A and B are shown apart, each in its own frame.
Chain A
Amino acid sequence: MSGASLTLDPAPRSEAAEAVRLEVREFLAAELAAGSFSPHVDTWLSGVDPAFSHKLGERGWLGMTWPKEYGGHERTAMERYAVTEELLAAGAPVAAHWIADRQSGPNLLRYGTEAQRAEILPKIAAGECFFVIGMSEPDSGSDLASIRTKATRDANGDWVVSGAKVWTSNAHHSHYAIVLVRTSPADRDSRHAGMSQLLIDLSLPGIAINPIRILDGGHHFNEVVFDDVIVPGDMLLGEEGAGWHQVTAELAFERSGPERFLSTYPLVAEFGRRAADTQDPAQLAALGRLSARLLALRQLSLRIAAALDRGELPNIPAALVKDVGTTFEADVIDEIRRVTDVPASLDSPDPLGRALAEAQLHAPGYTLRGGTNEILRGIVARGLGLR
């Protein structure tokens, strides 16, 4: 294909990944039997359960790929892929730790100081320390380089932060935010210069966390306001001025995982039960079409995990998979609606009706969060050599 940067080699088979997959299935079956959770759609956003996250930490399923000296388990990205995929498919409550395990930890590992790593990474791996992403602002969505939250050094060498971040998922349950700030004024000729990342303890004075409710009434998003918050000088993450570069690397982790096509899988599972009961040919065909798309996405996502194991940061394939995957997440609803006659309602006596409602009310988010599909297609276009 033209644009070789779009394609990745097939993922090798991983016996270790298949072994841990079975362990996770056993764990989930026991948890379900004990009633510790009930499956829901989009639980990596909405399923906050610190006790469940702690259990995963105890089993060594958080910080899986990190060095042991920081509480990690030195396992492969393929093994981590199997664990995350099983948790998502089961609709398990994984939101509390999701961001910390997926991207904040790897970001710290890559750019953090020794003190930052030693202090925070073991807590993340134990399922005891949760993170929120501080990128978007009220006036900066897709155009991330236009952020205005600023940090200036005071006489003591500490940072004084003022501004506001939005769409901060589960900030009200989190301990830290990694916040992209301007540390130098915006430069018209070099839009990506002058930004830095700060590691901010959310319990510091001057921070207000205000809820922003989404369509189903759920409180996941927040506005986090920084009113001249004093952040210790040693909480700079990485290099001053290298914020844009670091954020770009972080996005490879943010965009590449199975949560970009499995957010509505619990709805597919519910629909599968329905089709098994009815044996309706149209429903079986719809299940087949959805399954074929899902299986293709799985192969793409596995290839990315294998690329991560090779030490690559496959930004462009990750953008492509997220575009195709999140489109699928929303299409699941429409495909199922065409072959069933179940009104979507959170109060439905029918579990399929409830799953449809959960999926529908979360649907606008799938193709927005972590980079809109229009932005992602722009990145793919660059991979095709068009930009």
Chain B
Amino acid sequence: MSDQDLVVETVRDLLAAHEPFVLTPERPWDEALWQALVETGLTGVGISEEAGGSGGELADAVAVVRTLAAGAAAVPVAEQLLVAGPALTAAGLAVPSWDVPVTVAVAPSVTATADGAGYRLTGTAAGVAWTGVAAQVAVLAGSGDDLVLALVDTAGLPAPVAANLAGEPRGTLTFDATPAAGAALTAEQADAVRARYALARAVQLAAALEQVLAWTVQYAGERVQFGRPLAKFQAIQMELAEMAGEVTAVTALTDAAVQALDRDEGVVLAAAAAKVRAGAAVEVVARLAHQVHGAIGFTQEYRLHHLTRRCWSWRDEAGSELVWSRLLGAGLVAGGSGEDLWIRLTRVV
């Protein structure tokens, strides 16, 4: 059993006691599950002990995120473990505690102005994950021609209610000379933050799509119509096989992109490819999953929507397929006549 298997087992045990529920403005996240994760040290996995985390490898953090995503867990763990945590740590910004959620906002239109040892932020950041839930936010802000990673305490910031298709909070943060700790980033470092965010969503999508397939296969085996399980109908088998092809492709590419990140290689194009591939798979997998499930999958009482609604939103978040496919295409032919496309492709992952 690998370290990751142990991590997965621990998270699954916690999930068993914390079933997904329909998120509402009154109950926008699973605070009890978060506390359980804090108590087991899982909110600091992959973050060094010197930085206040629990230590462990990137692979451990990815295992936590994958397992929680497959369980439709309403906690800001992907943002904290895969994006904000590593980015803040790398920038040398101290986070007082990983026991309260830290989210991330990519908002270069927010202006960071140097102020003494820190910065003051002004502007708005839209579509910020876990507004109203996260106690701190790592903001990728602009500062003239440069970029700054700033850490802001969200207490006292207005956070109007807004949610994605799954009810996960995705609000707008408005900064008005808000004081923040911060560090200047190079363009490469800033790109890496964006790429990490996209890869985090790809990891979540891969896990969720895999679970959607498993649920759909299970349902097709149990649901009997015309005297036999749906799974015995060739038309249904073709649909499930198509779903499996998509899921397997997403998983393989996401795994490869995570490994590229682990090797500390240039990860922007790898993350772009993983995000685009995962987003494209949602179209097929979610559609066919609902088709096979029939009307029950279209209801709030049945579990399927906990993942399909998240998938429909996660594909848009941290950069849509359009944003990342354009960046990937441009990156693959940059500065050349396209002669080197194959060589560049084989270097991506």
Check A386–B220 contact: CB distance below 8 A.
yes
Contacts of A377 in B (CB 8 A): 237-238, 241-242
Count of chain A to chain B residue pairs whose CB atoms are closer than 8 Å in the complex = 172
Tell me the minimal C-beta distance from B309 to chain A in angstroms. 21
Question: B40 to chain A: closest CB distance in Å?
Answer: 26
Residues on the B chain within 8 Å of A25, using CB: 343
| Binary per-residue interface labels of chain B (250-291) against chain A in the complex, 1 for a CB within 8 Å, 0 otherwise | 111101100100000000000011101100100000000000
Per-residue contact bits, chain B 311-349, to A (CB 8 Å; 1 contact, 0 not): 000000000011011111110110011110111011011
0/1 interface trace, chain A 156-188, chain B, CB 8 Å (1 if under): 000000000000000000000000000000000
Taking a contact as CB atoms closer than 8 A, the residue among B234, B247, B255, B322 that contacts A285 in the complex is B322
Encode A351-379 as 1/0 by CB contact (under 8 A) with B.
Answer: 00000000000000000000000101110
Within 8 A of A (CB), among B208-247: 210, 213-214, 217-218, 220-221, 231-232, 234, 236-238, 240-242, 244-247
Q: Would you call A245 an interface residue if the criterion is a C-beta within 8 Å of the partner chain's C-beta atoms?
A: no
B245 and A380 contacting across the interface, CB-CB below 8 Å: yes
Contact digits for A271-311, partner B, Cβ 8 Å, 1 yes 0 no: 01111110101011111110111111111100100000000
Report if A295-B329 is in contact (Cβ < 8 Å); known contacts: A2-B214, A289-B321, A323-B245.
Answer: no
Query: Which of A89, A291, A317, A380 is packed against the most chain B CB atoms within 10 Å?
Result: A291
Chain A nearest Cβ from B241, distance in angstroms: 4
CB-CB under 8 A from B155, the residues of chain A are none
Contact of B325 among A1, A21, A274, A292 (CB under 8 A): A292
A286 and B329 within 8 A (CB): yes
List the A side residues contacting B109 at CB < 8 Å: none
Across-interface contacts of B220 in A (CB, < 8 A): 386
By the criterion CB–CB under 8 Å, are A300 and B252 in contact?
A: yes
Residues of B within 8 A of A380 (CB): 241, 244-245
A269 at the interface (CB under 8 A from B): yes
Contacts of B232 in A (CB 8 A): 386
> In the complex the two chains form, is B333's CB within 8 Å of A284's CB?
yes
A2 with B217, Cβ < 8 A, contacts A275-B329, A283-B329 known: yes
CB interface residues, A 1-51, toward B, < 8 Å? 1-3, 6-7, 10, 21, 25
Partner of B332, one of A2, A291, A303, A376: A291
Interface residue A144 (Cβ < 8 Å from any Cβ of B): no
**Are B241 and A281 within 8 A (Cβ)?**
no
Task: Return chain B residues, CB-CB under 8 Å to A89.
Answer: 342
The total of chain A residues at the interface (CB under 8 A) is 54
> Is A199 close to B, CB under 8 A?
no
Q: Which residues of A sit under 8 angstroms from B244, Cβ to Cβ?
A: 1, 3, 6, 320, 380, 383-384
Q: Is A230 an interface residue (CB 8 A)?
A: no
| Residue in B213, B247, B326, B348 whose Cβ sees the most chain A Cβ within 10 Å | B326
| Cβ-based interface call for A235 (8 A) | no
> Could you tell me if B253 and A296 are in contact, using CB atoms closer than 8 angstroms?
yes
Q: Known: A89-B342, A295-B277, A384-B240. Contact between A10 and B333, CB under 8 A?
A: no
* A277→B338 contact, CB < 8 A: yes
In the complex, what residues of A have CB within 8 A of residue B324's CB? 288
Contact A299 B338 (CB under 8 A): no
The residues of B that contact A276 with a CB separation of less than 8 Å are 333, 336-338
Q: Say how far A365's CB is from chain B's closest CB, in angstroms.
A: 19
A338 CB–B CB distance under 8 Å: no
Question: Quick check: B338 and A291 within 8 Å, CB to CB?
Answer: no
Report whether B342 and A275 are in contact in the complex, using a CB–CB cutoff of 8 Å: no
- Taking CB atoms, residues of chain B closer than 8 Å to A205 are none
Q: Is the CB of B241 within 8 A of A323?
A: yes
Q: A292-B328, A300-B252 are contacts. A269–B241 as well, Cβ < 8 Å? A: no
B253: nearest chain-A partner, CB-CB: A296
Question: Given the complex, which residues of A lie within 8 Å of B97, measured CB to CB?
Answer: none
Which label, helix, strand, loop or mixed, suits the secondary structure of the A interface?
helix
Residues of B within 8 A of A376 (CB): 241
User: CA separation between A109 and B259, bound complex, in Å?
Assistant: 36
- B341 and A268 form a contact (CB under 8 A): yes
B187 contacts the other chain (Cβ, under 8 Å)? no
Bound Cα distance A274, B336 (Å):
11
CB distance from A256 to the nearest CB of B (A): 14
Is the Cβ of B238 less than 8 Å from the Cβ of A374? yes
The residue that A324 contacts in the complex, of B214, B245, B346, with Cβ under 8 A, is B245
A287 touches B333 (CB 8 A): yes
Asked whether A233 is an interface residue with its Cβ less than 8 Å from the other chain, the reply is no
Q: Are B276 and A289 in contact (CB under 8 A)?
A: yes
Q: Is the CB of B338 within 8 A of A1?
A: no
> Does any Cβ of A come within 8 Å of B296's Cβ?
no
Report the minimum CB–CB distance from B277 to chain A (whole Å). Answer: 4
> Of B218, B234, B250, B329, which is within 8 A of A291 by CB?
B329
B248 interface hit (Cβ, 8 Å): yes
Given contacts A288-B332, A377-B242, A384-B240, contact A3 B217 (CB under 8 A): yes
Of all A-B residue pairs in the complex, the 8 with the closest CB atoms, nearest first, are: A288-B325, A284-B329, A273-B338, A287-B329, A288-B328, A288-B329, A377-B241, A276-B338
Please list 29 pairs of residues, one from A and one from B, whose beta carbons are closer than 8 Å in the complex, sorted by A's number: A10-B259, A21-B346, A269-B341, A273-B333, A276-B333, A276-B336, A276-B338, A281-B326, A284-B329, A286-B329, A288-B325, A288-B326, A288-B332, A289-B276, A292-B276, A292-B328, A295-B256, A296-B252, A296-B253, A298-B349, A299-B255, A299-B256, A320-B245, A377-B242, A385-B217, A385-B221, A386-B217, A386-B220, A386-B221
Known contacts A293-B280, A303-B252, A380-B244; can you find 4 more A-B pairs with CB under 8 A? Answer: A7-B248, A292-B280, A385-B221, A386-B231
Mark A residues whose CB is within 8 Å of B. 1-3, 6-7, 10, 21, 25, 89-90, 265, 268-269, 272-277, 279, 281, 283-289, 291-300, 303, 317, 320, 323-324, 374, 376-378, 380-381, 383-387
